Amino acid sequence: MSSSTCIDHFFTNSVDICSKVVSVPVGFSDHNIIAVARKTKVSKAGSKLIYKRIYKKICENAFVEDMNKIQWNTVVKLTHTEAALQLFMQLFLSTCDKHAPIRKLTVRTTKAPWLDLELRSCMTERDQLKKAAIISGSSADWQAYRSLRNKVTKMNKLKKKQYYQSKIEEIKGDSKTLWRTLNEVMGKDKMNRTPSFIESGGGFITKPQDIANYFNNYFIGKVDTIRNQMLPVNGKLSESLIKQHIMYDKKCEFDFTNINTEEMEKLLLSLQCDKPCGYENLDGKLLQLSARIVAKPLCHIFNLCLNEGVYPQMWKIAKVTPLPKNSKESFTGPSSRPISIFPALSKLMEGIVFKQIQHYFSENSINSEFQHAYKVGYSTCTALTQLTDDWLKQIDRKLMVGTVLLHMMFCM
């Protein structure tokens, strides 16, 4: 580049991988931006593809009517958990695919949704004024450009502020959406985006299938490593300690209790429709619409699980999405965390089991007074409050307080 006003430079010891050095005028600065094209094998990030059920043309009455026509008694007659669940899913999903088919969609995000036609026009005019000022060198042209540049900067800030103010006003009362919007304002939403490539072995992996296999192998290997490092547990010693301290002078025994059709229907109606669905693409909306109809076969399947002590293999399969722990680090296996999404029905089963176990521990006073997890009315806040009170009491007595903290490094 040969220019009397060029004060920025590129230096490289690999000229063969660099080309096309340019000086680009930009409207938001008096100086040009210099850029260089570097040859690389890293693919350009494309649009995100998702598979989603389309409810645009669904007729809810027709869907419920077709669900009524299905012979659900064939599911109730089965006494094998896996077979009953497999048949239910086959019958249910075939009707779902008919009324709400799955389609592959391209998701495009608007980088600046507040950027309207008025602001775009001002930006274009600003850039044109700068080009004219560079060519003419006139102080009047430069003054006109700088005046419009400052106007565009203020307008951009104002429109951005108005956009988020109106958005926050619309979602008052919805804390989940509110926090998502606030994280977007603060730039924290970028942490939840999966990059389009990863670094491995000094190179880049760009194909979606290869990226999936890389993380799948890494997470499986991580679990194997944790298992191999675990010390053997003395089962007899644990049982003895439980009898001596936890179950001392207690005659209670735990057994799972079967649920009824009414309870099953209430659980189905309580499903949240905006939750992401599992690998089978079954969301809460379709289960809610058919809750009264499918409550009986699902109740039968859930009771089979409780009575046989079986958790179906179909419910153990999850969609795993790796997310970066730190946006400043390279996206690799060690610097990522897995987010697992299980089938909607499996979450209902977990809720039933948790509720019954929690009730058993609470009714028989098995929980420790120092336990704050999995107890009604207790949480992390109550745990920290109790710790802080104990520390302050000891400090008031002129004693020293020591704390042992455990860092759970392998949380998966």
Instruction: Reduce the DSSP state of residue 253 to 3 states and report it.
Output: coil
For the segment 366-407, what is each residue's pLDDT rounded down to a tens digit?
Answer: 888 888 888 888 999 999 999 999 999 999 999 999 988 887
For the segment 165-195, what is each residue's pLDDT rounded down to a tens digit?
Answer: 888 888 877 777 788 777 777 766 655 566 6
Mean pLDDT of 198-202: 76
Which stretch of DSSP H or E encloses residue 320?
Answer: strand 319-324
The β-bridge partners of 272 are none
- Specify the DSSP class assigned to residue 70: S
Mean pLDDT of 254-274: 92
Angle 162-164-165 from CA coordinates, rounded to 5°: 60
Mean pLDDT of 238-257: 86
Instruction: Name residue 38's amino acid.
Output: R
pLDDT confidence bin for 350, thresholds 50/70/90: very high
Read off φ and ψ for residue 58, nearest 5 degrees: -70, 140
Comparing 74 with 137, the larger pLDDT belongs to 74
Residues 362-397 as b/e (b if ≥16 CB within 10 A, e otherwise) read eeeeebeeeebeeeeeeeeeeeeeeeeeeeeeeeee
Comparing 115 with 1, the larger pLDDT belongs to 115
Residue-level pLDDT at 24: 75
Residue-level pLDDT at 21: 78
Instruction: Name residue 359's amino acid.
Output: H
Instruction: Name residue 343's amino acid.
Output: P
Mean pLDDT of 278-304: 93
* Cα–Cα nearest to 215, from 319, 358, 354: 319
Comparing 326 with 56, the larger pLDDT belongs to 56
Residue-level pLDDT at 2: 45
For the segment 315-347, what is each residue's pLDDT rounded down to a tens digit?
Answer: 999 998 888 887 777 788 888 888 899 999 999
Distance CA 182, CA 258 (A): 43
- Residue 307 reports pLDDT greater than 90: yes
Mean pLDDT of 221-242: 85
- Residue 4 reports pLDDT greater than 60: no
The residue behind tokens 């207790």 is 378
- Residue 86 reports pLDDT greater than 90: yes
Residue-level pLDDT at 1: 42
Residue-level pLDDT at 20: 75
Those residues whose C-beta lies under 8 Å from the C-beta of residue 355, and which sit 6 or more positions away, are none
Q: Counting beta carbons within 10 angstroms of the beta carbon of residue 66, is it exposed (0 to 12), middle (13 to 18) or buried (19 or more)?
A: middle
- Specify the DSSP class assigned to residue 242: I
Mean pLDDT of 294-315: 95
Distance CA 408, CA 210 (A): 29
Tally Cβ neighbours within 10 Å of residue 333.
16
Mean pLDDT of 138-145: 91
Those residues whose C-beta lies under 8 Å from the C-beta of residue 166, and which sit 6 or more positions away, are none
Whether the Cβ atoms of residue 102 and residue 53 lie closer than 8 Å to each other:
yes
Average pLDDT, the chain: 85
Query: What percentage of the chain has pLDDT greater than the value 70?
Result: 91
Residue-level pLDDT at 283: 85
For the segment 128-141, what is each residue's pLDDT rounded down to a tens digit?
Answer: 999 898 888 899 99
